[in-house]
Amino acid sequence: MLPVLRGPVEADVAIVGAGFTGLSTALHLAEAAPGLTTIVLEAEEPGFGASGRNNGQVIPTLTRPDPDDLVARLGPERGERFVALVRDSAAFTFALIRRLGIDCEAVQAGWIQPAHSPERFERVSRKRFEQWSRRGAEVELLEPRRLAERLGSEAWCGGWAARTGGHLNPLAFARGLARAAVARGVRLFARSPVTGLERRGTSWRLATPSGSVEARRVLLATAAYSGPPTGALARTFVPFRPWMLASEPLGENVRRSVVPGGEAVSDTRADLRFLRWTVEGRLVSGGALALPLHERARLGRRVGELLARAFPPLAGLRFAFAWTAEIALTPDRHPHLLALGPELYAWIGCNGRGVALATALGPHLAALLTGGDERALPLPLERPKPIPLAGLAAVLVRLALPYYRWLDSRP
């Protein structure tokens, strides 16, 4: 069991949050600079946030911006560097799991994005395939017939796939990263929420209910769970809570006919359809739209019906488990690396694609925390831009289902 922070301690680096961002950064910091003291403070347990409760799809793309958008925004040199990081993020994640020997049901069977209309296939799938191929990514264009064979369904209209993608058990991955970080000398404290953060001379003081850390450099790896102690960071995103659902293990016949290659699948809809198998044969899916707690059963029925319509062998599908967690959406759907104060950093804006991205950002955030050159970073360091009426935006995003469906019905 991990300890709670008690009493005052000093560190070179303090990381707040033990999700993939905090843990991958701490691990790479311990490996690159073993002489530095790194402390991770987690409010609950490692993986408590989105990292332990996501769908486990390892996806080497962002949700909305494509490679050309990233280059247009970041410039040719840094843009291509960031594109390469995203392109290699899934391969990086699986290689890290193999290197550390983490037992997390990792399956690198690929990731498929089916298009939900012929227009999206022409406009989205072809564009993404073309832009990623141009950058040397291992991608395939799946014409409608080929996609139908790969999925075992004719419900979509072609798509594209990234061969380096796949899926894993996210909580097992987070716990494995935590163990590896601790084994390399990182001091990880659980049940130690940071309640205060203040500048003291040339360092930062982080207060928890029963202790404090004095550190020169700080990373806020709190993502969508960033609360008041994180200052302006908490107002730079809109939190969003999709539901995840898992079935009981299904029979071998069903498994052989629904996505028989075992890829992770998430389509082009805004009201996203997604699924993957676990190694023991559970189907993990969900609804990307926020619902109040009492509507969980309705969501399960709806997702079950939608999946059964696409995959007849899933008729009567019922879900045995449901859970949820918070995603950080940014207004422009881009990830942002933030300088919140002297040697106080964060990144925000996974926009639902953070398993591979947060893990792959780890070494770069570690370099920043050892005083590395900012120009070498894959993203520019920005000042935080609080969203006006962030609270209202969070309410509106919960009511967005009809708007998303309207978007999905358009070519």
Ligand X SMILES: Cc1cc2nc3c(=O)[nH]c(=O)nc-3n(C[C@H](O)[C@H](O)[C@H](O)COP(=O)(O)OP(=O)(O)OC[C@H]3O[C@@H](n4cnc5c(N)ncnc54)[C@H](O)[C@@H]3O)c2cc1C
Of 16, 162, 182, 219, the one binding ligand X (CB under 6 A) is 16
Q: By C-beta, is 193 or 313 nearer to ligand X?
A: 193
Q: How many CB atoms are located within 10 Å of the residue 97 CB? A: 23
Q: How far is the CB of 167 from ligand X (least distance, A)?
A: 8
Q: How far is the CB of 40 from ligand X (least distance, A)?
A: 9
Provide CB contacts within 8 A for 362, sequence distance 6+: 20, 21, 23, 24, 25, 27, 28
CB of 359 to ligand X, least distance (A): 9
Q: Which residue has the tokens 């069991």?
A: 1
The Cα–Cα gap between 127 and 378 comes to: 23
Q: Which of residues 311-340 bind ligand X (CB under 6 A)?
A: 324-327
DSSP 410: -
User: CA-CA distance, 364 to 45, in Å (whole number)?
Assistant: 24
Residue 242 binding ligand X, by CB under 6 A = yes
Distance, in Å, from the CA atom of 216 to the CA atom of 204, rounded to the nearest integer, reads: 6
Stretch 54-73 residues interacting with ligand X (CB under 6 A): 54-57, 59
Of the pair 185, 193, the CB lying nearest ligand X is at 193
Say how far apart CA 247 and CA 57 lie, in whole Å.
17
Q: How far is the CB of 143 from ligand X (least distance, A)?
A: 26
Segment near ligand X (CB under 6 A); pick from 41-49, 120-128, 147-155, 304-312: 41-49
Beta-bridged to residue 39, according to DSSP, are: 14, 187
Part of the chain binding ligand X (CB under 6 A), chosen from 36-44, 148-156, 292-300, 334-342: 36-44
CB 222 within 8 A of CB 322: no
Q: Applying CB under 6 A, what is the total number of residues that bind ligand X?
A: 43
**Single residue of 5, 11, 147, 221 touching ligand X by CB under 6 A:** 221
Q: By CB under 6 A, is residue 20 in contact with ligand X? A: yes
**Is the separation of the CB atoms in 31 and 357 below 8 Å?**
no
Angle of helix 170-183 relative to helix 355-369, nearest 10 degrees? 20
Phi, psi of 125 (to 5 degrees): -60, -45
**Contact call for residue 17 and ligand X (CB under 6 A):** yes
| Beta carbon of residue 94, minimum distance to ligand X (angstroms, whole number) | 13
365 vs 219: CA distance, rounded Å: 8
Is the Cβ of residue 52 or residue 304 nearer to ligand X in the bound state?
Answer: 52
DSSP state of 256: H
Q: Which is nearer to ligand X, 209 or 260 (CB)?
A: 209
Q: In the set 5, 12, 21, 269, which binds ligand X (CB under 6 A)?
A: 21
- Per DSSP, 224 falls in state G
Smallest gap from residue 68 Cβ to ligand X (A): 21
With contacts defined by CB under 6 A, name the span among 61-69, 124-132, 225-233, 314-322 that binds ligand X: 225-233
Sign of CA dihedral 315, 261, 355, 135: negative
Near ligand X by CB under 6 A, which window of 45-53, 70-78, 105-113, 209-217? 45-53
Considering the rule CB under 6 A, would residue 49 count as an interface residue with ligand X?
Answer: yes
Question: Do residues 160 and 133 make contact, with C-beta atoms less than 8 angstroms apart?
Answer: no
- Residues contacting 19, CB < 8 A, separation 6+: 46, 47, 48, 49, 50, 51, 52, 174, 221, 223, 358
Compute the least distance from the CB of residue 218 to ligand X, in Å: 11
Task: Based on the shown chain and the rule CB under 6 A, indicate whether residue 355 belongs to the binding site for ligand X.
Answer: yes
> Tokens 């949050």 — which residue?
17
First to last CA, the chain: 52
Nearer to ligand X, 87 or 316 (CB): 87
Distance CA(125)–CA(133), nearest Å, equals: 12
Site for ligand X in 244-263 (CB under 6 A): 244
Residues 357-386 touching ligand X, rule: CB under 6 A, are 358
In angstroms, the CA 277 to CA 279 distance is 7
Least distance between ligand X and beta carbon 273 (Å): 13
Contact map string, positions 158 to 197, toward ligand X, x by CB under 6 A: -----------------------------------xx---
Query: How many C-beta atoms surround the C-beta of residue 287 within 10 A?
Result: 25
Kindly tell me which of 58 and 71 has the beta carbon lying closer to ligand X: 58
Work out how close the CB of 32 gets to ligand X at its nearest, in angstroms, rounded to a whole number.
19
Q: Least distance in Å: CB of 312 to ligand X?
A: 25
Indicate the residue whose CB is closest to ligand X.
354
User: What does the binding site for ligand X look like in residue numbers (CB under 6 A)?
Assistant: 16-22, 41-44, 48-51, 53-57, 59, 193-194, 221-225, 227, 229, 242, 244, 324-327, 350, 352-356, 358
